[in-house]
Amino acid sequence: MKKTIGSPKYQKLIHWLQQSREDQGLSMRALAERLAVPHSFVQKVETMERRLDVLEYVLYCEALELEPAEGLQLLS
C-alpha cells in the first residue's frame, strides 16, 4: 500500500476542508481554538505535512459543522 498523504484523493479531501474553513471566514487560529489544538496543527494539516486520522477527521468536520460522510464521498 502506498502512502496516502500525497495522493490526489487525500489532497482533494484536505482542499475541501480548507475551502470550507475559508468559506466560513475562519482563520486557521480560529479553527484551532474550536479544536483546542495549537494553530500549527491546522497549518500542518492544510499543507499536508500532517495526516488526519479518522477521529481527528470527524472532529475537524464537527468543528466546521460539516458532515464527515460528505467528505468521504470525495474519496470514491
- Residue 32 domain-assigned? yes
pLDDT in tens, 13-62: 999 999 999 999 999 999 999 999 999 999 999 999 999 999 999 999 99
- Scanning 1-76, the segments in alpha helix (DSSP H) are 8-23, 28-35, 39-46, 54-63, 68-73
Q: Report the candidate in 49, 74, 8 with the shortest Cα–Cα distance to residue 61.
A: 74
| CATH number of the domain residue 32 falls in | 1.10.260.40
- Residue 58 domain-assigned? yes
pLDDT in tens, 63-76: 999 999 999 999 88
Residue 52 is classified by DSSP as -
- Residue 42 domain-assigned? yes
Q: The whole model's pTM is what? A: 0.92
Per-residue confidence band for 1, with pLDDT thresholds at 50, 70 and 90 = low
- Residue 35 domain-assigned? yes
